[in-house]
Structure 1
Amino acid sequence: MKDYNDFWEDNYYNHPKLTDEMIELAERKLNIKLPQTYINLLKIMNGGYTKGFAFPMNEKTSWSENHIPLDTLNGIVIDENIKTAQNLLDTEYMTNEWGLPEKQVLLSGNGHYWVTLDYRNNSNPSIRWIDVEMDEDIHIANNFDEFLNGLVSDEFYDDINDDE
């Protein structure tokens, strides 16, 4: 992914513009330091629907034989009056609700599966695929930059599936 301005599709939940105060509050609440590239993406648009991406996988997941989706990316919303399904600050609640491993920050997902920043082993998080129902906790990338740079259009996999 070279052009971060071509990442976002829609701010469906009308997340407000990201501020330094929102970043500081999120990092303090989650007790972590967010990757700078992730913050840079949120400064363009504070979470929402992406243009539709997939990350190629060598290991089969509950989602697919060869990739995982990234159709949304959570933003940081501190205003409790904004009802959104794409808020990084829902991590604690969702972790408890779905029985997720500790020290995860939820980047994307719907409850059945999650793409996470994994802080279990390091303050510089790796990226994981977690599906609690299928007992999957799979390494995706060593860091957020590697993850972002590995994304491809999800249409690539639509084309492969059409050929089969």
Structure 2
Amino acid sequence: MKKEFYRGDSFWSDDSEYKRIDYPINDEIIKQAEAILGVKLPSSLLDLMKIRNGGGLNYPYFMLPDGDTESIPYGGRARISDIDPIHFEKEDISILSSKELLKEVSLTGEFVVLWTDFHYWVVLDYRNRSQNPAVMYIAENFSTSTYDTTEWEYIKIADTFDDFLKQLFRVPPLDPK
């Protein structure tokens, strides 16, 4: 299975089933969002968000580091199907919903949520710095979680968002010939 890595073009998927509020962003919205979050978002993420404010990805897969695959499906290959938008609407999930989402599942830390299905999370990790955050994959460890408690596995994917982008890939459809 050949991987096609993201190389700076066609990041957003046009045929995504991702439903979002169409809310374009600009520098003023970014400034407000960063003030609410209390962090500086990566410039490469903001550049992508200016093209399309959230949505499905053409390059949704990334590999996790060797040895960190016990509770991760597909032998260490993980997926980020979309990135949440930046907006101030209360009725829709946004990057600005990060604190509420994390609190809902008792995850603590200075994280900005890019994507979650509430069992797996892709977050910007601001625990050790206020700029240029690492990208972290947080996975529910089903083998140690109980009915009353959820145990989480924290896996660093990349030192920066730029490094994360270089790791994203897609698998072309099989040729029917």
TM-score (norm 2): 0.79
- Note if 1:79 corresponds to 2:89: yes
Look up the match of 2:163. Answer: 146
The alignment-based identity, stated in percent, is 30
Corresponding residue for residue 89 of structure 1: 96
1:33 aligns with 2:44: no
Q: Which has the larger radius of gyration?
A: 2
**What is the aligned counterpart of 2:11 among 7, 14, 18?**
7
Residues 40 and 18 (structure 1 numbering): CA distance in 2 closer, same or farther, change over 3 Å? Answer: same
CA RMSD of aligned residues (A): 1.9
Q: Between Structure 1 and Structure 2, how many residues are aligned?
A: 153
Q: In the alignment, is the contact (CA less than 8 A) between 2:59 and 2:168 conserved in 1? A: no
Counterpart Cα distance in 2 of 1:122 and 1:134: 25
1:21-42, CA deviations, whole angstroms, 9 ceiling, x for partnerless residues?
A: 2211111111000000000010
Shift of 1:134: 4.6
Which of the pair has the greater relative contact order for Cα pairs under 8 Å at 6+ separation? 2
2:108 match: 101
Q: What's the secondary structure of 2:78's corresponding residue?
A: strand
Cα distance in 2 for partners of 1:24, 1:92 equals: 18
Post-superposition shift, 1:46? 0.2
* Structure with the higher helix share, 1 or 2: 1
Output the amino acid matched with 2:61: A
Contact in 2 for aligned 1:15/1:47 (Cα 8 Å): no
Say which SS state the counterpart of residue 92 (structure 1) adopts.
helix
1:70 Cα shift? Answer: 1.4
List runs of 5+ in structure 2 lacking aligned partners: 1-5, 141-149
Structure 1 counterpart of 2:53 = 46
Instruction: Give distance in 2, aligned partners of 1:96 and 1:15.
Output: 26
SS of 1:51's partner is coil
- Unpaired segments of 5 or more residues in structure 1? 160-164
